[in-house]
Amino acid sequence: MHKKDIGLAVLVLTVGAIVTLVNPRFVSPVNLANTANLIGLFGLFSIAEAFVIVTAGIELSIGSVIALLGVIFIDLIASHGVPWPVAFAIVLVLSVVIGLLHGWLITRLKLQPFVVTLCGLLIYRGIARFYTRDGTAGFTFGTDLPILEYLFVGRTAGVPHSVMAFGVFAVLAWFLLHRTVFGRHLLAVGKNEEAARYCGINTKRVVVTAYVLCAFLTGVSAIFFAMYTKSVQPSSHGNFYELYAIAAAVLGGFSLRGGEGSIVGVVLGVVLLQVLQNLVNLLGIPSSLNFAVMGAVILVGVIADTQFHAYRQRRHHQATRSALAEVSRTPSANS
Amino acid sequence: MTAAARISLDLIGITKVYPSAVALNQVSLGIRGGEVVGLIGENGAGKSTLMKVLGGTIAPDEGEIVIDGKTTSHLTPAEALAHGIAFVHQELNPFFNLDVAGNVLLGRELRSRPFGFIDHAAMAERVKPLLDMLGARFQPSTQASELSLADQQLMEIAKALSTNVRLLILDEPTSSLTLAETQRLLDVVRRLRADGVAILFITHRLAEVEAVADRVVGLRDGRNAGELQSGSINRDAMVRLMIGRDVTQFYTPPQARQGPVVLRIRNFRTEAYPQAPVDLEVRGGEILGLAGLVGAGRTELARAIFGIDPVQGGRVEMNDKPVASGSVPAAIAAGICLVPEDRKGEGLFLDFSLSENVVMPNLSAIATAGFVDRRAEMEIADRSRSRLSIRAPRLDRAVSELSGGNQQKVVLAKWLGLDPRLIILDEPTRGIDVGAKAEVYRLMRDLAEGGAAVLMISSDMEEVIGVSTRVAVMRRGAIAGILSRADLSEEAILRLAVG
């Protein structure tokens, strides 16, 4: 896992270096800050997705949840005059409720995560569109609520707060997954749920907690996105974001079969995806090719990883063989 | 079977190197049609690799294969099949979504004209005589998912026989069979031998080798360890061949010093047999063997006591205190632990390291504020490795790299840290080598002599009789009877098991 992270870091740096050589604007402070902001925004829900994927589950409703919670947040403040901290709390509570619901359906009714969250993807999107009568929920309260504006879209020493939040949550997530008992249980349940039960692990509770964590982080991310775009168009806001999240997690070494992956990896995965987006702009590639470039790089990365792994296996094999030849040359008397 | 010419096969100086180890080192083996050769050796001795060479799924790095007078460096799977080499693997992988005929003729389905749809009637007709010959009590149309483990085994043998078999390789064919089923299988082996088929019989059950083999080939650490000819095949000689020394005091029950009742179950009804209430007591200091036919409800009873499966009624008491049913954490808190039958599926996290596996049920004990103390983890793993003599070079490597016997020791090590009051072992020595078996017995004895209660489920008669203080025999979910050590015999157990 460690080696995978290093490989990914090398890939990120290589891509970054190439873009810089072709178009030095890549490293301009403005561009770096903008890219960092996007990394923060996309990173929050990518970490969320990683916690579900590690249990061998999947969460497909992230984009729809971001749209639904986004319009609710804006509506509460703009149309109902709810103080923003209260609106913030309501959104987080709603996100936890969504996570509990998904976890309950998956563990108690034994539905497949793919099905549950696919239905969530459709349902939340539909509710968001109905709630706003398919109109764009825009607002201008940024100037009226300077604290809210500062917290979610402001910068400190030029660093966007979104990427700071991402950094904080990434560190917390790293400790949670790689250093705590709960993290061990997450990996165990993802790798072999039956064996985990035999170890006395409450596997249902672990899985539900993973979906709640995921939904909570998605809720936080929904507020960052709403504040960033300043308007939520319920039919398109957050579309396909779950796929970014899955891509980042897979790049980061998370297996869709569960039980493995590293937080450092998913962070690097998010960075790579955003650098690729940026690359399309900076290198003058038609933006319609955006997804194609991303898909191609992920595919090449995954192929390189498996090939490198196979190469190491072969080298190890060679080493063992020559060691055997060494042994064979000195005849043994004991057989 | 058509009367094909008898096979003549020689492997000469076969060497195969894997990335992590030398699996075979200059191994030779010959076999002719009409003979049964027993292949014995500890796990990791190279038996499986040798089989794969015969099946053509791996190519040896050195050596040659002489088959019917023709020499080649390796076989392809298609060539192996064409030469009439067929396998029954230890790990059965039937297609549960197909019926028996579909499994037996998989990839060789019979088709009807003119559209080429699968002709189920013709397939059933082809398969039926094979099932009759094996004495199977199921039909070609039976769904594979409805078969017991023993019947799945028979189905696999039928599959091997449905090809033009000249060399049949049986890998641990009896590990999940009861005594009667084993006898039936050995009869089939003898009949095939009379028909001129060569049979390579791989097993850890030495009594079966003794009963059926004409010759025994031993492997040790990937090398030929020697051969036994008919007449000199006996248990002691085979054990010497496998481990290179005598195993003294292989079977010893614990010193009789019975403590108070540790586990008491009353009127206990499992989901598998809700009409058969079970009452049972296990005392500290004893090893209670739980015998019975496969499907008698032994595993289900163990799972229910441990809280894996919900319970239909009745109660479990540990040291006179009731234990909440249907909860593994509650069972563990009460001092119960279970070493499951399916080591890879239920006992281990194969891709996880030895240390991660060992501390998994006991993580909170080595955690501060939810954070795992990784130094303590390594220390515990290291202690377990020496206490159980687990042969593993590193604590941070995946347990999938270990042999079966060492994997089983890791499963045991998981529970020792919790200082169990009752340890339930479900087929604890299934598919592990003699050396590891002796270690497992020693450990069970140590636990019992330390005051714990041991409940051992086993289908291996020799083992049940050898290591148990008392034996409870189950039949159709109920306890058919309990035998004290003085009354133990295969006949007595079998009488109760069959009823």
Does the residue A299 lie in any domain? no
Q: Looking at the complex, report in whole angstroms how far the Cα of residue A113 sits from the nearest Cα belonging to chain B.
A: 22
Question: Does the beta carbon of B393 lie under 8 angstroms from any beta carbon of chain A?
Answer: no
Q: Which two tokens stand for residue B164?
A: 């033009």
Q: Report how far residue B239's alpha carbon sits from residue B217's, in angstroms, rounded to the nearest whole number.
A: 12
Q: Are residues B372 and A181, on separate chains, in Cβ contact within 8 Å? A: yes
- Read off the pLDDT of each residue in B81-87 and give the average, rounded to a whole number: 90
Report the residue count for chain B.
499
Tell me the per-residue pLDDT of A284-303, one tens digit each, with 9 for 90 and over: 889 889 889 888 888 887 88
The answer on pLDDT for B106 being more than 60 is yes
The residue range of the domain holding A262 is 32-276
Does the residue A303 lie in any domain? no
What does the domain layout of chain B look like in residue ranges?
8-94+147-243, 261-498
Tell me the per-residue pLDDT of A10-33, one tens digit each, with 9 for 90 and over: 989 999 999 999 999 999 999 999
Question: Does the beta carbon of B382 lie under 8 angstroms from any beta carbon of chain A?
Answer: no
Contacts of B353 in chain A (CB under 8 A): none
Lowest mean pLDDT, pick from A311-325, B64-78, B104-118: A311-325
Read off the CATH number of the domain in which A67 is found.
1.10.3470
The answer on pLDDT for A140 being more than 80 is no
Does the residue A318 lie in any domain? no
Strands B36-40 and B198-202, sheet pairing = parallel
Does the residue A228 lie in any domain? yes
Q: What sign has the CA pseudo-torsion B76, B81, B84, B89?
A: positive
Q: Looking at the complex, report in whole angstroms how far the Cα of residue B369 sits from the nearest Cα belonging to chain A.
A: 9
Between positions 30 and 69 of A, the ones with CB within 8 A of B are: none
- Read off the pLDDT of each residue in B220-234 and give the average, rounded to a whole number: 87
Of A181, A192, A317, the CB nearest to B370: A181
- SS (HEC) of B52-107: HHHHCCCCCCEEEEEECCEEECCCCHHHHHHCCEEEECCCCCCCCCCEHHHHHCCC
Does the residue A235 lie in any domain? yes
Question: Does the beta carbon of B277 lie under 8 angstroms from any beta carbon of chain A?
Answer: no
Q: Are residues A195 and B345, on separate chains, in Cβ contact within 8 Å? A: yes
Residue of chain B minimizing CA distance to A185: B360
For chain A, strand residue ranges (E) read: 137-138, 155-156, 159-160, 231-232
Q: Are B123 and B105 in contact (CB under 8 A)?
A: yes
Q: Are residues A320 and B22, on separate chains, in Cβ contact within 8 Å? A: yes
Residue of B49, B309, B372, B415 best to disrupt the A interface, most CBs of A under 10 A: B372
Does the residue A11 lie in any domain? no
Q: Would B8-94+147-243 and B261-498 be classified into the same CATH topology?
A: yes
Percent of all residues in chain B with a pLDDT value above 90, rounded to a whole number:
51
ipTM of the complex: 0.85
Considering its fold, how many domains does chain A have in total? 1
Percent of all residues in chain A with a pLDDT value above 90, rounded to a whole number:
65
Does the residue A185 lie in any domain? yes
Contacts of B18 in chain A (CB under 8 A): 317, 320
Tell me the per-residue pLDDT of B325-354, one tens digit each, with 9 for 90 and over: 899 999 999 999 999 988 889 999 999 999
Distance (Å) of CA B73 to CA B8, B58, B65, B84, B271: 16, 11, 6, 18, 54
Q: Are residues A324 and B18, on separate chains, in Cβ contact within 8 Å? A: no
Strands B223-229 and B215-220, sheet pairing = antiparallel
Tell which wins on pLDDT, B5 or A25.
A25
- Residue B137 has a pLDDT of 87
Q: Report how far residue B343's alpha carbon sits from residue B332's, in angstroms, rounded to the nearest whole number.
A: 19
Q: Domain B8-94+147-243: give its CATH superfamily.
A: P-loop containing nucleotide triphosphate hydrolases (3.40.50.300)
Question: Does the beta carbon of B18 lie under 8 angstroms from any beta carbon of chain A?
Answer: yes
Contacts of A184 in chain B (CB under 8 A): 356, 360, 363, 372
Tell which wins on pLDDT, A177 or A158.
A177
The rounded mean pLDDT for chain B is 88
pTM listed for this prediction: 0.80
Contacts of B282 (CB under 8 A, 6+ apart): B261, B262, B263, B288, B422, B453, B454, B455
Q: Tell me the CATH class for B261-498.
A: alpha beta
Does the residue A332 lie in any domain? no
